[in-house]
Amino acid sequence: MAAVFLLLAFASPAAARYTANWTSLDARPLPSWYDEAKVGIFVHWGVFSVPGFGSEWFWWHWQGQQPPDPKCVSYMSKNYPPGFSYPDFAPQFHAQFFNPEEWADIFKASGAKYVVLTSKHHEGFTNWGSPYSWNWNSVDNGPKRDLVEDLGDAVRNRSLHYGLYNSLYEWFNPLYLEDKKNGFKTQQFVMQKLLPELYNIVVRYRPEVIWSDGDWEAPDTYWNSTQFLAWLYNDSPVKDTVVTNDRWGQGTACKHGGFYNCQDKYTPGQLPKHKWEKCTSVDTLSWGYRRNMKFKELMDLPAIIDDLVSTVALGGNYLLNVGPTADGTIPSVFEERLRGLGAWLETNGEAIYATKPWRVQMENGTVPVWYTSKGATVYAIVTAKPPTTILKLLIPQTSATTKVTLLGRPSPLPWAPVYPNAGLSVLLPELPFTPGQAWTLKLDNVQ
């Protein structure tokens, strides 16, 4: 009998179940793969890619907000016949050049470890054959194929984690508008549309990230968020590996959920206490594809790498977005950015993947230096070319066994202490060309 009780005692932590309240759900440890991954690719793709004008919010700016955006109104009146409606764009969402294998190759080459696709944006169009979205989905309309499944298979075949973005609300869904009119005291939309679709994508596609959005108009009690998350963490097919963000109702951002997004392009000034993620877009003005985007409106590679490095040094993950075209291609300029990022990570990834924030995250001397760490090793990532061949790092505490190397160059670099047992002056070699304009010093046996 004692042996049985001992067995139960050891089994009980693994069998612990989460209850449908934030205290319980917030106590769930984040699966380790996510923090180790550091780098992800975000993909905003949908009917909004067809007009390709303004942003993925085009429908709302044209016919939702009051007064409408005059640029969107003018764009439609000049280019489309009277009476043309937004749903009329869906048949033009052909995705005829969509090759998920090519996309997955690009994402793998970027150095990313996970990919998050919009399964459904605020327009309500689902990128899979949702049984709850009749004729407003990618199998019945437009591409006539399951985009979620096709990309997921290709991504996983390259050992990348696969996640799905899902908008809780839908701008013009009649069930949602009725609930909204009722002050969110009714839940027709939640029970008949939202939750059935969420369960559907989890069971069918087993995403390891549920990236929630579109939550801000109603409290989490309207969305039934805690009940869904309790099922997700306790009983779903991905209960042991799935991670979620913090957009589950008014007031939950930066407060509840798995990792925190807080807000789009969130940049904390200091080390946050909770795991977080920065989502940002190569196109600085839109998440979805814009046909009229200009080169100067895009992040260049040094800006992307600087953003990535500062994010990881402060304990965050970096989710970089690209917007494919309606015909299913990733614009060449986006591909160039992603492959450039991957080339930099091929040399410097040791200082990014599976690292932890160091005791000091940044030192601003003659050039900015960001620190990360892995066990007893500290990495000093220099995000601008030093003006001289001597680089001073004042923060690390050195010893007689301290060793300094430049990632990508095996031989140790000569160094001298700046103060007794503190700081070091490193004699740099001629720094190799890198389009990212960032180099990493590996510091062994420092504190």
Tokens in use for 15?
């069998």
**Residue-wise pLDDT tens for the chain (447 aa)?**
444 333 333 333 455 899 999 999 999 999 999 999 999 999 999 999 999 999 999 999 999 999 999 999 999 999 999 999 999 999 999 999 999 999 999 999 999 999 999 999 999 999 999 999 999 999 999 999 999 999 999 999 999 999 999 999 999 999 999 999 999 999 999 999 999 999 999 999 999 999 999 999 999 999 999 999 999 999 999 999 999 999 999 999 999 999 999 999 999 989 999 999 999 999 999 999 999 999 999 999 999 999 999 999 999 999 999 999 999 999 999 999 999 999 999 999 999 999 999 999 999 888 999 999 999 999 999 999 999 999 999 999 999 899 999 999 989 999 999 988 789 999 999 998 888 899 999 999 999
If DSSP codes are grouped into helix, strand and coil, which group holds residue 372?
strand
C-alpha angle 53/58/61, rounded to 5°? 125
Asked whether 346 and 308 are in contact (CB, 8 A), the reply is: no
E strand segments, 125-271: 161-167, 209-213, 243-244
Q: What is the DSSP letter of 150?
A: H
The predicted model scores a pTM of 0.95
pLDDT score, position 3:
43
3-class DSSP state for residue 186?
coil
Going across the sheet that includes 377-382, the strands are: 356-364, 368-374, 377-382, 439-444, 403-406
Residues, the chain: 447
CB 161 within 8 A of CB 37: yes
Burial 204-216 (b: 16+ CB within 10 A, else e): bbbbbbbbbbbbe
Q: How far apart are CA 127 and CA 425, in angstroms?
A: 54
Q: Could you tell me if 192 and 233 are in contact, meaning their C-beta atoms sit under 8 angstroms apart?
A: no
Contacts of 8 (CB under 8 A, 6+ apart): none
Residue 286's pLDDT is 98
Instruction: Retrieve residue 408's tokens.
Output: 């990508």
CA distance 415 to 260: 40
Cα angle value 148/345/112 (rounded, 5°): 10
Tokens of 207: 């995403």
DSSP state, 133?
S
Nearest to 86 by CA among 69, 62, 68, 66: 62
Residue 306's nearest CA partner among 154, 136, 120, 439 is 439
Domains for the chain: give ranges and CATH numbers. 37-351 (3.20.20.80), 356-444 (2.60.40.1180)
The CA distance from 36 to 32, in Å, is 6
